[in-house]
Amino acid sequence: MKNAVIGFLGLGSMGLPMCCSLSKNGYSLVLPAYRKEIDASTGFSPIAPDYEKKLAVLNDLLETGAKGASSLEELVEMSDIIIISMPTSKQVEELVLAPNGILNNSRKDTIVIDMTTADPNSTKKLSQMLGEKSIEMIDAPVSGGTIGAINQTLSIMAGGNEEIFEKCRPILEVIGGKIIHIGPIGSGHTIKLVNNFLSGVGTVAVAEAIMVTTKAGISPQKAIEVLRDSGGRNDATMNKFPNYVLPNKEFNFTLNLMTKDLGLYNQIAKGLKIPAFISNTVYQLWNIPVAKGEGDEDCLNIINMYEEWCNVKVRGTVSE
């Protein structure tokens, strides 16, 4: 696999640092240079606030060995392995099914690694269609955020044929710190949605709890200090609140993406006939700011809603 040419689709806040890691570890990359100024989903729209920074990183990769494809078709034709990191299944389906896309232009035995947090049902359908043309696919979503992508410490949960997964393991080990094969195709996307459901629940649960403690006269910092060392420990008390909410920093994950993931989790639960009282309630909470037109804002802006409801100030109460 070290000699494999990797095409990478999705140079956003997660995909771009993954490419940097692969390049530094000697992998040959083909990147979608053709999307620089026409696709906001890759992070290279001129209207994106970090356009110049990401463009500089892309240009550096191209100057240090990565090849720039002039079209999706060219990228697909040049690649032995195609990694996809997109916001939703919709973009993945477009890349696979477009006339100039993966399904119609990949060579036999090409491997597709979808690292999107995606709909497992869509993943299964795409895998079947690709398989009919002898194109392999695994789903390998990640957890750990942009910092994890930069530090190569992401948790990667993979679904698909185990033999194909093992072929891809050396590549995944460059990107992540913990790699687990979960089961058949779609399993990785399923467990990632379960993970994000628990993350969404934990965040709003701690938000509510901190409103209570603050109104009771306990400082947010002291409350988090106790909770993260007690039975209330979770990612919100260990990471989101002390490192992002209290110092008022962005988490780099939008409200739209959170509600998308919670909605997909609800679909899975419904399909399996599992009562989903908690997830339905939590989805509605997260969807309130989205319904107000704030979906593109940082997901931790959900705290603003609680602050407004309770007339309590939590964000920015601790300096870095």
Which DSSP string do the residues of 120-153 spell out, in sequence order? HHHHHHHHHHHHTTT-EEEE--EESHHHHHHHT-
Mean pLDDT of 278-300: 97
- Model pTM? 0.92
Q: What is the dihedral of CA 147, 261, 301, 143, to 10 degrees?
A: -10
pLDDT averaged over every residue in the chain: 94
- Rounded Cα distance between 113 and 96, Å, is 12
8-17, 126-135, 213-222: least confidently modelled range: 8-17
Is there a contact between 157 and 184 (Cβ–Cβ < 8 Å)?
Answer: no
- Rounded Cα distance between 196 and 262, Å, is 7
Residue 185 pLDDT class (50, 70, 90 cuts): very high
pLDDT of residue 155: 98
Q: What number of CA atoms fall less than 13 Å from residue 174's CA on the CB side? A: 17
Instruction: Estimate the crossing angle of helix 187-215 against helix 255-271, to 10 degrees.
Output: 120
pLDDT of residue 40: 46
Burial of 180 (0-12, 13-18, 19+ CB in 10 A): middle
Q: Is residue 293 predicted with pLDDT exceeding 70?
A: yes
Q: Which of 54, 192, 240, 260 is catalytic?
A: 192
Q: Which of 35, 43, 24, 42 is nearest to 69 (CA)?
A: 35
Mean pLDDT of 248-260: 94
> Where exactly are the structural domains of the chain?
5-184, 190-310
Angle at 114 between CA 108 and CA 120, to 5 degrees: 110
3-state secondary structure of 60: helix
Give how far Cα 201 sits from Cα of 53, 192, 198, 205, 235, Å: 33, 14, 5, 6, 11
Is there a contact between 289 and 295 (Cβ–Cβ < 8 Å)?
Answer: yes
DSSP structure string for 277-308 = HHHHHHHHHHHHHIIIIITTSBGGGHHHHHHH
> Beta strand 142-143 with 154-159: parallel, antiparallel or unpaired?
antiparallel
Give how far Cα 82 sits from Cα of 74, 138, 168, 209, 219, Å: 12, 11, 11, 44, 49
pLDDT of residue 98: 95
Domain range 5-184, its CATH number among 3.20.20.70, 3.30.870.10, 3.40.50.720, 3.20.20.140? 3.40.50.720
CATH class of 190-310: mainly alpha
Residue 55 pLDDT class (50, 70, 90 cuts): confident
- Rounded Cα distance between 244 and 295, Å, is 19
Residue 154 backbone phi and psi in degrees, to 5: -60, 145
Q: Which two tokens stand for residue 289?
A: 């700011």
pLDDT of residue 118: 97
Residue 48 backbone phi and psi in degrees, to 5: -70, 140
Burial call 125-134: b when 16+ CB within 10 Å, e when fewer: bbbeebeeee
Better pLDDT: 212 or 40: 212
**E strands, 36-129, where?**
67-68, 81-84, 111-114
192 part of the active site = yes
pLDDT of residue 38: 56
Query: Could you read off the pLDDT of 118-146 as tens digits, one per residue?
Result: 999 999 999 999 999 999 999 999 999 99
3-state secondary structure of 67: strand
Neighbouring C-beta atoms of residue 59, cutoff 10 Å: 14
